[in-house]
Amino acid sequence: MAILVGHNLYIHGGSTFTSLLGDVHRLDLRTFEWSKLDLAGTSNPVAYHAGVLHNHGLILIYGGYTLEGLSNELIILDTINKHWGYPAIVGLKPEARKLHTLNRVSEKIWMFGGETSQSTTDEMWYFDLKLKHWYQFTGTVPTSRHGHVIKTHGSKLYLFGGCNSSIRKCYADTHVFDTEKELWTQLDDSETIKSREGQGVDFLAGKMYLFGGRYLMEKVYGDFWSFDTDEPCPNDCSGNGACGESGCVCESGWSESDCGTKTACRLDCNDHGVCDEYECVCYAGYYGNYCQGLIGCPNNCTSATQGTCQDSAECECFSGYTGDDCSMREDWKLCEDLCLNGKCSNLECKCKEGWVGTYCDIAEPVIYSAGSSTTGTTKSKLKVKEEEDSESESNTTIVASSVSYSKAAKNQDEAAEEFKEEKSLHYLIPEMFGFVDAADPTIFYAKNLRRIPEKHVKEQWIEDIEDRIEDREDAIKECVNYCSYHGSCYSSICYCESGYTGDDCEIKEDDIEKGVKIQTVLLIIIFAAIIGCIFGGFKLNKILKEIKMREESKIEQENLP
């Protein structure tokens, strides 16, 4: 059995000329290197079984031939945690078999045909992944066979070939099963292709390619065939990809010929990482198959944009940041961040045109004035820039001037008097200078006012990261004392890292052992003191009695005649 999981190909079981196999090997298709997996749990050696990929990197395996005979067990190969599992099944199971097929479409796994202990069968079953229950399909099905092949293409299953050893007959027919309508249809095939079983088949851009196979145990083939389904991109790539020359090109996180299967990771990587081909790639400061572990750097290096947490639990700060937790900005970085509408030069903000202020965050004011047709232009002492409007029917000249705050404030009264004397048609002067607009300003605003530059906007990827960090911090706050930064918070429960324990992971296990030893010593001392007091009291009482007896004896001797 061979199953593709992301960029890894897994091989399980099979047989040699002398024995059955139960080992698991993995081929990394990026490096083309083989590795043998050491799995927790047990699994019987098996051959002629069938498997299918489920979400979360789980491979479901059913049936096959074992040392104890044919099997009807459904077992799980967890490729992420590297262990075997046996799910609880509700209801009856199909009859034990081998040389059958398994195919997954949505939340159902379809099984067809195979060879039982009695004969070759045409039974078709499906397993409901949500209900964990087997159901037998009761509609019309192709003839009994084993060693056939069925491939999933979108929501349809394509079947080719197979044999029936009970009647020593093989087939070269092609059938398609619509899983939505639950209906089998036999397709007309004008090509002359020999009957066979055990062939290799796969899809590419709507074409089903076939190689090899055998006729029972008599002939072996090495020919190559293709069958066009006329559906290069089934289901329009399910809205999760684009149709290309090689079929559906799926977006990240989706797979299969119609991009309809989500390559999900269990627990969604605890929101501490991203899912890549069923495997979690953890954010800085987290580790584990599901990013459930917290390495424990100070303040988690502040954020993923300022530093990364090393395995040594120390922060490696990015350029521009410093401190144990990378929370402090270097001077040049601070200047660069604060200069919203300018550039930082020699640790000072150099503003763009139209902006003033220490951090270039204030729009420079603009004063507009208009002279009459007789005067031509205003004679204001304010510095102005003459500008003629060629599209206007009137001879009115609109003049605009940018002035500093200090100069404008200094010349307010003088400028006001000059404007009054010239009897200009219209004035547009900001209220901050103390002037009042005497007419409808919208005519001038729409045409002449300088557009205020947009405020500085953070790049979207920075906002996304900060949102994730904020969500993650909120989740951590649900746990007592932030799990003391020695554990991972999940559903308000602290899961402590190795070496720590307690409700909030604040206790070192080494300290517990030391504490037990100290308590033991104290108990021994107290016990010894009590024993000492009892024994000492007994000895003292004995000594006092002896002294008393001697005194009494002495008195008696003195009183003798």
**pLDDT tier, 412 (very low <50, low <70, confident <90, very high otherwise):** very low
Residue 36 vs residue 402, higher pLDDT: 36
pLDDT at 66 over 90: yes
Closest CA to 218 of 198, 200, 201: 198
Angle of CA points 78, 81, 82, to nearest 5°: 65
Distance CA 11, CA 19 (A): 17
Distance CA 395, CA 94 (A): 96
**pLDDT tier, 126 (very low <50, low <70, confident <90, very high otherwise):** very high
Distance CA 487, CA 509 (A): 14
- The set of residues, in sequence order, having a beta carbon less than 8 Å from that of 375 and lying 6+ positions away, is 422, 424
Q: Which token pair is 218?
A: 């008599």
pLDDT at 229 over 80: yes
- 0.75 exceeded by the pTM? no
Angle of CA points 143, 145, 146, to nearest 5°: 160
Q: Which of 96-105, 267-276, 325-334, 428-437 tops mean pLDDT?
A: 96-105
**What are the pLDDT digits (tens) for 212-224?**
999 988 899 999 9
Residue 411 confidence (pLDDT): 46
Q: How many CB atoms within 10 Å of residue 521?
A: 10
Residue 263 confidence (pLDDT): 82
Residue 19 vs residue 264, higher pLDDT: 19
Using DSSP's 3-state secondary structure scheme, residue 515 falls into: helix
**pLDDT tier, 462 (very low <50, low <70, confident <90, very high otherwise):** low
- Give 401's strand partners: 367
Residue 557 confidence (pLDDT): 61
CA 143 to each of CA 96, 123, 186: distance values in angstroms, whole numbers, following the listed order: 19, 9, 11
Distance CA 180, CA 118 (A): 32
Residue 458 confidence (pLDDT): 57
**pLDDT tier, 446 (very low <50, low <70, confident <90, very high otherwise):** very low
**pLDDT tier, 553 (very low <50, low <70, confident <90, very high otherwise):** low
Residue 277 vs residue 242, higher pLDDT: 242
The lowest-confidence range among 6-15, 167-176, 360-369 is 360-369
Distance CA 260, CA 120 (A): 33
Contact criterion met (CB below 8 Å) for 102 and 111: yes
pLDDT at 256 over 50: yes
Q: For the residues 386-393, what does the mean pLDDT come to? A: 40
Distance CA 284, CA 295 (A): 9
pLDDT at 459 over 80: no
Residue 556 confidence (pLDDT): 62
Residue 223 confidence (pLDDT): 92
Distance CA 108, CA 131 (A): 10
pLDDT at 211 over 60: yes
Residue 367 confidence (pLDDT): 53
Residue 210 confidence (pLDDT): 92
**pLDDT tier, 512 (very low <50, low <70, confident <90, very high otherwise):** low
pLDDT at 350 over 70: yes
Mean pLDDT computed over every residue of the chain: 77
Residue 76 confidence (pLDDT): 92
Distance CA 74, CA 63 (A): 7
Task: Look at the block and give the residue holding tokens 């190795």.
Answer: 498
Residue 538 confidence (pLDDT): 76
Residue 500 confidence (pLDDT): 80
Residue 25 confidence (pLDDT): 96
pLDDT at 180 over 50: yes
Residue 519 vs residue 362, higher pLDDT: 362
Q: Which token pair is 332?
A: 């040049």
Q: What is the dihedral of CA 11, 16, 19, 25, to 10 degrees?
A: -20
Using DSSP's 3-state secondary structure scheme, residue 165 falls into: coil
- Give 362's strand partners: 356
Give me the DSSP letters along 47-115.
Answer: ES-EEEE-GGGEEEEE--EETTEE---EEEEETTTTEEE----BS--PPP-BS-EEEEETTEEEEE--B
Torsion angles phi and psi, residue 142, rounded to 5: -65, 170
**pLDDT tier, 111 (very low <50, low <70, confident <90, very high otherwise):** very high
Q: For the residues 172-185, what does the mean pLDDT come to? A: 94
Residue 337 vs residue 4, higher pLDDT: 4
Residue 485 confidence (pLDDT): 72
**pLDDT tier, 195 (very low <50, low <70, confident <90, very high otherwise):** very high
Distance CA 327, CA 330 (A): 10
Q: Tell me, letter by letter, the H, E, C secondary structure of 408-421.
A: HHHCHHHHHHHHHH
Residue 460 vs residue 35, higher pLDDT: 35
Q: Which of 152-156, 401-405, 502-506 tops mean pLDDT?
A: 152-156
> Whole-angstrom distance between the N-terminal and C-terminal Cα of the chain?
120
Q: DSSP code of 361?
A: -
C-alpha neighbours within 13 Å on the C-beta side of residue 205: 5
Residue 191 confidence (pLDDT): 66
478 class by beta-carbon count within 10 Å (0-12 exposed, 13-18 middle, 19+ buried): middle
Residue 145 confidence (pLDDT): 95
Residue 61 confidence (pLDDT): 95
Q: Which token pair is 488?
A: 């991972």
At position 160, the amino acid (one-letter code) is: F
Distance CA 414, CA 370 (A): 17
Closest CA to 300 of 483, 505, 494, 502: 483
